[in-house]
Structure 1
Amino acid sequence: MHKHPAEPGESTVSLPPLVEPAAELTVDEIRRYSRHLIIPDVGVEGQKRLKNAKVLCVGAGGLGSPALLYLAAAGVGTLGIVEFDTVDESNLQRQIIHGVSDIGRPKAESAAASIREINPLVNVVIHNMALDNENVKEIFSQYDLIVDGTDNFATRYMVNDAAVLLGKPYVWGSIYRFDGQASVFWAEHGPCYRCLYPEPPPPGMVPSCAEGGVLGVLCASIGSIQVNEAIKLLAGIGEPLVGKLMVYDALEMEYRKIKVRKDPDCVLCGPNATLTDLMEDYEDFCGAVSVEAQEATIDATITAAELKEWQDSGKDVFLVDVREPAEYEIVRIPGSTLIPKGEILSGEALAQFPQDRQIVLHCKSGVRSAEALAALKAAGFKDAVHVQGGVLSWIKSVDPSLPAY
């Protein structure tokens, strides 16, 4: 990472507007956007640029929800939504663009309906699909600016790479528990995401929001920063977060701005770039689980139904839940013992594992238990196994009365 604290009083230069202004504003638009129009830095000219802008939001979840709502309210003329998931009850704690009546509905369609209710003047384009190497360039090429609300490293790197290759700026955000980050990556004027994070973290090092949780209102804080940056870029006002990383701590109520320099050795946007097109496999690059974990699960994986059969038959099973205590309090598989993954990887908890019983590990979905399984096997517990799909699989195939989370 190439960064240092921003220096107070450092001179800055605004970037030129990203889009040309529309020909005119209608009477209805003047009434609707009047509070923008009386801001000298925005004015009629700035609002015309917003009207003429085409912005794509990747994801209609935690960050996409506030971003889409405020982009629509601000008068961005065309809003694209790329999202393949459906609305789940657990989304409603933070994904405010959806409601109870939307549960089970495609998120892209639910988000589009909310946008039309807020501002029927916005043209909404739905891409109800997952981004992949085959479609990302074609979709991105239709827009002036990308707002990245993704929640996994594989898609983040793909979004970055496609944006750089197409010369598109994009506004990035990230959230976890009480912490958030935001920046603008535009390789023509500053660093790209790979300049900040040349490689993804080791598998299992950074839990997802589904594993570690996120304070719902944090999404609004970071999503609003993303929209603020989008408006500045489109209208050519203020100082965008190009070359700067905004870090937010909600518990301490503290914002820090860190300068990020373009990496001269960046494989994508550096002068000697070796990555000249999209990578073949972003999932493999980021790795859901480590190679060691993948190898450990070979011939050492059982289903939730098989675990139930073992329990019913009286097999002497030592069932270990490797999740965190807060997750264990929400829902647990009967008969399980809580030993968090970190205590297994550090070796601290190895003494708790018996040598004469069948050890079965599980987590929420199977990723963390695979990592713990690798550590156990390396410590000599060769017969240990883990449950494919974890607690979620148990709920789906064994006991649907338990709450999923």
Structure 2
Amino acid sequence: VDITNLNRQLLHWTTDMGRPKTLSAREKLSEMNPGVEIDVMPEKIDENNVFEFVRDYDLIVDAMDNFHARYLLNRTAVARNIPLFHGAVHGFDGQVTTVIPKKTPCLRCIFPENIPKTFIPVVGATCGVVASIQATEVLKYLTGIGTLATNRLLIWDGLNMVMNEISLERNPKCRDCGDDRIE
């Protein structure tokens, strides 16, 4: 936990600085609901362990802070046919989409090039908006009700309090989910 996390990651407090986020989060969530079983893997996700991270899961919620990790999750979701609920934040702006492998565009279709890792300022309230939309998407997926944010990118403009959307299409030549990649 770093001091820069505290404005947007509500499970972490100043007393957690220097601790692994996974352990801090598990501790707080266990205090909120002792009946919940929380498994943590306190290590950074990479090419060598990403499949292990998602092995036993039915869906993936992408709340990563860099595109390298997002692309790893995307490739894994596509390879394992696991829905991916993407959310990202930059200042007062946020974006959300839901990826259903073999049916909708994946993240690589939307963002075909690697985006360099840079310091991106984040407004905590924007994280809350994006996380709430992602949670709503997961609930709709699990219950089978409502319309998912598939084939579109929802874009939140917090400065003007406007939600826009961009229609998306799968790229048949996408290197992650293209036609030659799908079985």
Fold similarity call, TM over 0.5: yes
Which of 187-196 and 154-163 deviates more?
187-196
How far apart, in 2, do the equivalents of 1:208 and 1:166 lie?
31
Gaps of 5+ in 1: 1-86, 277-405
Equivalent residue number for residue 96 of structure 1: 10
Deviation at 1:272, TM superposition (A): 2.5
Equivalent residue number for residue 181 of structure 1: 95
Deviation at 1:118, TM superposition (A): 2.0
Deviation at 1:109, TM superposition (A): 0.7
Deviation at 1:120, TM superposition (A): 2.0
Matching of residue 232 in structure 1 with residue 140 in structure 2: yes
TM-score, length basis structure 1: 0.43
After superposition, the C-alpha distances for 1:107-157 in whole angstroms (9 at most, x for unaligned) are 101101111122222211111011111111122121011111111111111
How far apart, in 2, do the equivalents of 1:198 and 1:90 lie?
29
How far apart, in 2, do the equivalents of 1:196 and 1:94 lie?
26
Deviation at 1:262, TM superposition (A): 1.0
Deviation at 1:259, TM superposition (A): 1.6
Matches within 5 A, 1:361-376: none
TM-score, length basis structure 2: 0.93
Gaps of 5+ in 2: none
Equivalent residue number for residue 127 of structure 1: 41
After superposition, the C-alpha distances for 1:145-172 in whole angstroms (9 at most, x for unaligned) are 1111111111111110011001111111
After superposition, the C-alpha distances for 1:315-359 in whole angstroms (9 at most, x for unaligned) are xxxxxxxxxxxxxxxxxxxxxxxxxxxxxxxxxxxxxxxxxxxxx
How far apart, in 2, do the equivalents of 1:105 and 1:130 lie?
14
Q: Which amino acid aligns with 2:105?
A: P
Equivalent residue number for residue 152 of structure 2: 244
Higher share of residues assigned helix: 1
How far apart, in 2, do the equivalents of 1:121 and 1:257 lie?
38
Q: Which amino acid aligns with 1:133?
A: E
Deviation at 1:92, TM superposition (A): 1.1
Equivalent residue number for residue 257 of structure 1: 165
SS in 1 for 2:113: coil
User: Once the two structures are aligned, what percentage of the paired residues are identical?
Assistant: 38
How far apart, in 1, do the equivalents of 2:6 and 2:158 lie?
20
Matches within 5 A, 1:135-174: 135-174=49-88
Matching of residue 219 in structure 1 with residue 127 in structure 2: yes
Is the 1:151–1:208 Cα contact (8 Å) retained in structure 2?
Answer: no
How far apart, in 1, do the equivalents of 2:108 and 2:95 lie?
15
Largest Rg, 1 or 2:
1
Deviation at 1:103, TM superposition (A): 1.7
Aligned length: 183
Deviation at 1:253, TM superposition (A): 0.4
Matches within 5 A, 1:3-402: 87-201=1-115, 203=116, 207-209=118-120, 213-273=121-181
Higher RCO, Cα 8 Å, sep 6+: 2
